[in-house]
Chain A
Amino acid sequence: MHYRLEIQTRTGIEDPRGAQVKKQILDFLGLPVCRVRVRDVYTLFLEAPRERVEEILAAFANPVIQDAAIGESSPVPAFHWLIAVGFRPGVTDNVARSARSAVADVLGRALAPDEELYTSTEYLIEGAELDRAGAEEIAGGLLANELIQSTLVLSRAQWEKDGIPINAPRVTDPTPPEVRTVDLGVADEELVRISREGVLALTLDEMKAIQQYFREAAPARRQLGLPEWPTDVELEAIAQTWSEHCKHKIFNAKIDYLDRVTGERRTIDSLFKTFIRRSTDEISRRVDWLLSVFHDNAGVIRFNDRLNLVYKVETHNSPTALDPYGGAITGIVGVNRDPLGTGKGAELLINVWGYCFGSPFTPAEAVPEGLFHPRRLRDQVHKGVIDGGNQSGIPYAVGWEYFDHRYLGKPLVYCGTVGLLPREINAEPAETKSIRPGDLAVMVGGRIGKDGIHGATFSSEELHRDSPVQAVQIGDPITQKKMADFLIEARDRGLYRFITDNGAGGLSSSLGEMSRECGGCDIELANAPLKYAGLQPWEILLSEAQERMSLAVAPEHIDEFMKLARRREVEATVLGNFTDSGRFTVRFQERIVASLDLDFLHDGLPQLQLHAEWRPPRHPEPTIPENLDLGRALCDLMGRLNICSGEAKARQYDHEVKGLSVVKPYVGVGNDVASDAAVLAVGRPDSLEGVILAAGVAPRYSDIDPYHMMASVIDLAIRRTIAVGGRLGHMAGLDNFCWPDPVAGPKNPEGAFKLAQLVRANQALYDYTTAFGVPCISGKDSMKNDSTVGGRKISIPPTVLFSTIARMSDIRKAVTLDVKRYGDFLYVLGTTGRELGGSEFFAMLDAVGNTVPRVDADAAKDLYERVARATDRGLCHSLHTPALGGLGAALARKAMGGRLGLEVDLACVPTVMVGMTPVEILFSESNARFLATVPENRSRQFEELFDGAPFARIGRVTLDPVLVVRWGGTPLCRVSVADLLAAYTGTLDWE
């Protein structure tokens, strides 16, 4: 039987959803509508009489605020257009999954597989002026992403004539499973074609290495009944294992680097080993808290004698460009599985996020066809990560946004998660795990569909118009939350031996990696639970359907493990077992469809050989207008996209769940000024030990020299940590590189330069992480952030997110940036140089310049040690470190935070060279500086601490909420805190 259930807000009850859609239509599309009503529709195919369906309807609808009907409700509300949005066949429908649970509870029985439930949303739009084109634009341009959703636009007349069709996006016409053989005994150009058309993302060298392997393996294969040439299962598994995403080919390439300035030529055998790994190795000899770095899903550091911390930050750029909401939610729930799959499995503690977008104010005509407008993209990305994080019950601590027109082609979506591991689980170190031959290979969590097939190889490709639809996954936080709760329970009962996540590459990646631990596996794909029929065996192996973990379970624990899974309503399936055969063996309906030598699969990839050439760019220097109105300039600066408040979006992310928040993302009297860093208690809510999380990005510095960009972002994250009361010593870093394609080719003539930029950034990473003693414990790279959609190539600026995690032994020592008492002395710590290259101030003048901020690590370390002593002694009433916008923006934030004024004499600021102008001092973005306010009666003690270091008292806090800037006796500007706040909060003010 088929039923249509319809639920909408009761007439007379406020309907924020409809109001919001109407506002978006008016604001974004400028189309004439006067009212929008929204209703939820559930299509049920159910063996149940109407009385039971009425009970189901009563369970779905809230009688206090909603009207509900079976069929179409009456009376029919006024509307001119009806837009129905449903999912395309096979797309994950999270609401339908929950609705099925409710139906089962009402009926008192589980639903049969052929009892179906689909959801859709119907928008009833009033607007006599709105024509069909307008209604279609609302459907496709605002309400639905047609990649994953279907839309139906009905005029009133059409609806009166034909009604609304049944929404039933079944996956139909399943093709029977088939294993094909791919003949690789062909010419080179044919090999290239096979790779390209199969979206394998393999180079000719790599294809030839595969060809060679199969030539040699032919006799052994015959004995197994396998064809001479690879099956599609095998070729796909190799392509996935060898993908840029999984093997980091560029970071492991042999690079011939030429510096055109110095003439220096050097060979770098793997950027990763030469710079990142080496730095961590060197630091690991000096510290005792590094427990597990680089080899597991996330890095692990010791926190105290009972607890360890786990941290990973990922990017999810390509899928987000295609489906912003689905890509973003997958980004956050996906990175959650990294700590969950680290060691014996960590509990999820804290999330972080950061996004790079084109300006949301980009004129519509400047957005190439086929790309989302950055405003819509931004709204959807936020919504995805908000839903993912909130529904998982994980607070966020650090969030940021950065805007530049070069992110128009590909947005960057960084998501990270901190996990908590006990020091030991069942008397073994919690960061260790093992597999023994004979252990069962178990998949836990969601079912497998066509979601995200080729995600691993696709993310290694530049984005083009026909990028595969299947590369999109949609995360389901609730399925994952249930799984995560279950896994921690199973972990503590010792029910599994090894755990890892299913992310890019799916089972191929997780089981392939796990096979290395014990020497092989033998799995049966036909055992895998599918969302729908019609998947080919290779698709089952590679699917990136979300919310899945792979485990090794000892045979003696499997019954208890499966029983607990059933009790927790978590799906778990035994796919096969681990072996010591040295082979990755895959069967389908008992027949062997893949048998690959593990050594070849994991180590057979030929090393990439690349050339890099550095020639520093020169940019014109801007002319700073004479008689610049400093007050006006400061207000303009505070309203700029990269400086202004992002609070309207940030408040939609839960940052308090778990009750651990100590220094929140937004601070001050009005809780509305972005904090330098976040502090959270670790352990129980009343614990005095905590963790400090901070981050730094500065993509525009890359326009001058990525070496100094890298140095600056490392310094920025570190001094942000210092600014809330942290100190060097027990601090680790995470590097996330996002780069434009650095492999030279006919379509990429700039490749050698972009690679040189990458080399320089890595050199700086080594130089500064070792100098500060902040080792990287985990990292990630995304190397093809280019887009040629709409006939225009847009490449991102080289972007590195540097994230830090630091232990804080006493959270009561934490400091916030807002000034707190009038009369307090204002100090600047550190020196200011003429370093406006790549600054926000120059960007405001449409210029880049050349004097990029540099970092003197020795001076910085000395300063940070003194600042840490000052915060430890409780001398600072407020503390803040300048970033984009320099001292000017930092002064404004301090005053806004406290709703008090500041009187500042710029002539007192210590500078690197004489003769710097007030404009330069105010807007230079020199690193390693702080602004502190200190009560007068402790100023002597404070000044003694900084004796011998560059610092100066430059003014004081005033009751009158005005920022007054002077040069000696000459007034330069007066800006009220109210004006600064209006500028700061006025730019990104929509929710």
Chain B
Amino acid sequence: MAQTINKTVKALVITGFGLNCERETAYAFQLAGAEPAQVHLSDILAGDRSLGEFHILAFIGGFAFGDHLGAATVFANRLKYRLRRELEQFVADGRLIIGICNGFQTIARLGLVPALEGSRFEPQIALAPNSHGVFRDAWVMLRADPASPCVFTRGIDLLPLPIRHGEGRFVPRDRDVLQSIRTAHLAPVRYVDPESGAPTDEYPHNPNGSVDAIAGVCDLSGRVFGLMPHPEAYLSPFNHPHWTRQKLNGVLPPEGLGLRVFRNAVAFARDNLL
């Protein structure tokens, strides 16, 4: 029995302070075969639970501290001052981190992605206010970069997902950062025109004005990944805005396509971290 438990991939979903996608993110890991735990950040900071118990860590969507001083600012600051060493160890151990939406803003702010030259806890990229100036909820089309080291996007080509944010415009610190991201294929997903399949600067397909149509960024190991769109919001095929047409045309997928991101993570963890 003990052996079975050891062979289970364990995923940590950190909750609290205004985060709000814990249920569906935990359920995504469960569907993908992992054992998820939703743990309040205050219980981790108090030492009741430890990052070391887990193979995968998810920073989820929401409005931590209301995004009051800018997206994820207060939350990332708390992690930097009170959980830095544990996070560094987690990354050094080669475990997986995914940051979705507010979670991407958090790990970008913490400098966990792209972490060029191994430099962490100083941001190299930002998720700035959307060009249109307002929050937007809409489905977008992503295309994955097959040459990316990202373990979460393996085998994925086109991926429709919803975005829901007011601050998602990818901005690199400078030209060198952008160039390094391109060269090392650290932008695993880009916003594309659904007709042409090509990355686009055009609104609404590029929904926030992201530089180089970049929707997500990973580190050099490919094990730390953040993205603005929400894969956990497409677990059921009936989440897609056009599912009634897909059904009619016989192309309704058996499960939500967002689940593939979590299946990739759990499979990788099973093969490499157990």
Contact = CB atoms under 8 A, between A and B. Distances in A.
A64 B124 contact: yes
B138 A651 contact: yes
A17 B129 contact: yes
- A390, A478, A657, A669, most chain B CB atoms within 10 A: A657
Interface residues of B, number: 73
Contacts of B78: 101-102, 105
B63 A108 contact: no
Interface in B6-63: 15-21, 23-24, 27, 31, 40, 42-43, 46, 61-63
Contacts of B239: 656, 659, 661-662, 685
B197 interface: no
A811 B70 CA distance: 38
B66 A391 contact: yes
Tell me what chain B mostly uses at the interface: helix, strand, loop, or mixed.
mixed
A820 B243 CA distance: 12
A13 interface: yes
Contacts, number: 192
Contact of B66 (A98, A567, A659): A98
Given A98-B65, A654-B164, A656-B230, A16 B74 contact: no
A655 to B, nearest CB: 6
- B164, B209, B256, most chain A CB atoms within 10 A: B164
Interface residues of A, number: 66
A656 B164 contact: yes
Contact of A667 (B69, B109, B241): B241
B133 A16 contact: yes
Contacts of A659: 21, 24, 27, 230, 232-236, 239
A991 B132 contact: yes
B142 to A, nearest CB: 15
Interface string A788-811: 000000000000000000000001
Interface in B169-210: 169, 171-173, 209
Interface in A225-260: none
B15 A820 contact: no
Interface in A665-680: 667, 669, 671
Interface in B127-167: 128-139, 162, 164
B221 interface: no
A567 B241 contact: no
Given A20-B133, A59-B77, A657-B61, A98 B128 contact: no
Given A95-B69, A654-B164, A820-B245, A393 B131 contact: no
Contacts of B63: 390-391, 393, 477-478, 481
A65 interface: yes
Interface string A624-639: 0000000000000000
B85 interface: no
B65 A101 contact: yes
Given A659-B232, A659-B236, A685-B24, A101 B133 contact: no
A812 B63 CA distance: 32
A567 B42 contact: yes
Contacts of B74: 98-99, 101-102, 105
Contacts of B241: 664, 667, 671
B92 to A, nearest CB: 24
B126 interface: yes
A567 B43 contact: yes
B94 interface: no
Contact of A393 (B62, B81, B209): B62
Nearest to A566: B42
A13 B171 contact: yes
A13 to B, nearest CB: 7
A657 B109 contact: no
Interface in A1-43: 13-14, 16-17, 19-20, 40
Contacts of A557: none
Interface of B: 15-21, 23-24, 27, 31, 40, 42-43, 46, 61-63, 65-70, 73-74, 77-78, 80-82, 109, 122-126, 128-139, 162, 164, 169, 171-173, 209, 230, 232-236, 238-239, 241-245, 247-248, 255-256
28 contacts: A14-B169, A60-B73, A64-B124, A64-B171, A64-B172, A66-B70, A98-B69, A99-B68, A102-B73, A106-B81, A391-B66, A391-B67, A393-B19, A567-B40, A567-B43, A652-B135, A654-B135, A654-B164, A661-B239, A662-B239, A671-B139, A685-B27, A686-B236, A812-B238, A814-B238, A814-B244, A991-B133, A991-B134
Shortest 7 CB-CB contacts between residues of A and residues of B = A393-B20, A64-B126, A16-B133, A98-B68, A659-B24, A478-B66, A98-B65
